[in-house]
Structure 1
Amino acid sequence: MIKHHPSDTLLAQYCSAQLPASLSLAVSIHVDMCPVCQEKVAKQEAANAKALFSDTNHEISNATTSQEPDNLDFDTDLLDLITSDTSIDEVYEVDPVTIKVNEHNYKLPRALTRISHGRFTHVGKLARSRVAIEDGPLRSSLLHIGPGGEIPEHTHTGFEVTLLLDGEFSDEEGTYVPGDFIWQDGANQHTPLTKDGCLCFTVVSSALHFNKGLSKLLNPIGNLIY
């Protein structure tokens, strides 16, 4: 069962189209996988629509109260033409997209099927592919951790969103399942590791900061590799 979700504030910003593209994509993928957040989003969108139409009707009412009745005629022929059209809009089917990373096959979420990504670069049991989203300082990637792999203990100079797409991993806070949406920032430090391997979608705003051992040697070039 999914235990980690975007905050209600983040969901509200998503429904109001106020998020950067990378975060909006991450929330969209999670919502597609999470019945709990699907219900929240449906309620928020209904509330947004109600507020929008209430404001619109209020503006129309204010605009028409000063007009003479003769100016309130509507083109009923046009309205009848619109409402009598029973045709169904064409629906575009999205074919599933499967990628192969280190001999493992993964089916991409629907929201990622039409967004390109680069080749996977490999460092030990870690592999990363940059997702082609131009979004200022934010970087979106597909991150694969092979069986038995881990990311050395680190914290964040900005924030990091990790959305588990397939497989499992764990850290000091517990074990994660597909659909879990994990937000980390400078207040957190963790050591993600996986027994069987996993594929994640990640969004980071700045470099990771490694805390222990030889991995600390990466910190001076962290801004180049995040």
Structure 2
Amino acid sequence: MKPHHHPDITTLMAYSSGALSSAFSAVVSAHLSICRTCRDRLRETDAIGGQLLSQQEGLPLSAGAAERLMAKLHDEAPVAAREPHEPTAGHDPDLLPPPLWPYFGRSYRKLSWKWIGPGIHHIRAEGATEHHLMLLRVAPGRSLPMHTHGGSELTMILRGAYDDTLGHFAPGDIADLDGETEHQPVTAPGVPCICVAATDAPLRFSGWMARALQPFVRL
């Protein structure tokens, strides 16, 4: 699995500095667990952050303070984000990415999906998060309503695929979207598309029916 769509560099910088909410951090961590390219970018971002910290004006840092801070950031980063993680012959396809386990459990088979529309199911994350975190499963060949975003949305494809004006998104790919993006994902034929998504504001649907149903499905 080699992703072709990645988080924006500003998203990685926010993740590196600890500025992302737990919901958005969970999606980034899931992507990092399978994307060597972004793990390398994260290490570069951490190094740049350490250099900026050491160059800040004000009270001088005590001897070794910058090194201790960088070591602390390294130790607190998710293990999956630090260690190379390549699928092996023994990889269990039933397992979700480890960073998602605290919110949804480990097994795809044990997920309890909730119907929210024809061919569309979702699961909201367990535990407290500052923003919404959910799994979304959409039947193959299904077109979602046209929509924009009231804020930011970070979505990672776990299974299946979809296409929209931004391209083809397959397992491991990240859609890093803001309020300026309007799109209508269409899932690929064959298998359902399952993704994990974090949002900090409700979606803005173009169609009247989707807008009418939005208070009930809370998307």
> TM-score under structure 2 normalisation?
0.71
Q: 1:206 aligns with which of 201, 205, 212?
A: 201
Q: Which runs of 5+ in 2 are unaligned?
A: 64-78, 80-89, 106-110
The 1:210–1:50 alpha-carbon spacing in structure 2 relative to 1, beyond 3 Å, is closer
CA distance in structure 2 between the partners assigned to 1:206 and 1:186 by the alignment: 10
Q: 1:151 aligns with which of 144, 161, 165?
A: 144
**Aligned pair 1:134/2:125, yes or no?**
no
Question: What does residue 29 of structure 1 align with?
Answer: 30
Do 2:54 and 2:61's aligned partners in 1 also have CA atoms closer than 8 Å? no
Do 2:148 and 2:179's aligned partners in 1 also have CA atoms closer than 8 Å? yes
Question: What does residue 175 of structure 1 align with?
Answer: 168
CA distance in structure 1 between the partners assigned to 2:149 and 2:118 by the alignment: 22
The 1:127–1:38 alpha-carbon spacing in structure 2 relative to 1, beyond 3 Å, is same
| Aligned residue pairs, count | 182
The 1:60–1:159 alpha-carbon spacing in structure 2 relative to 1, beyond 3 Å, is closer
Deviations 1:163-222 (A, max 9, x none): 111211111222111111112232111111212321100011121122125324235x27
Do 1:167 and 1:178's aligned partners in 2 also have CA atoms closer than 8 Å? yes
Higher Rg: 1
Identify which of structures 1 and 2 has the higher relative contact order when contacts are C-alpha pairs closer than 8 Å and 6+ apart: 2
Question: What does residue 9 of structure 1 align with?
Answer: 10
CA distance in structure 2 between the partners assigned to 1:152 and 1:11 by the alignment: 29
CA distance in structure 2 between the partners assigned to 1:59 and 1:112 by the alignment: 37
RMSD over aligned CA atoms reads 2.9
Q: Amino acid of the residue matched to residue 186 of structure 1?
A: G
Question: What does residue 85 of structure 1 align with?
Answer: none
CA distance in structure 1 between the partners assigned to 2:53 and 2:148 by the alignment: 41
CA distance in structure 1 between the partners assigned to 2:183 and 2:155 by the alignment: 12
**Aligned pair 1:112/2:113, yes or no?**
no
The offset of 1:51, in angstroms, is: 6.6
> TM-score under structure 1 normalisation?
0.69
Do 1:126 and 1:144's aligned partners in 2 also have CA atoms closer than 8 Å? yes
State the percentage of identical aligned residues. Answer: 27
The offset of 1:127, in angstroms, is: 0.7
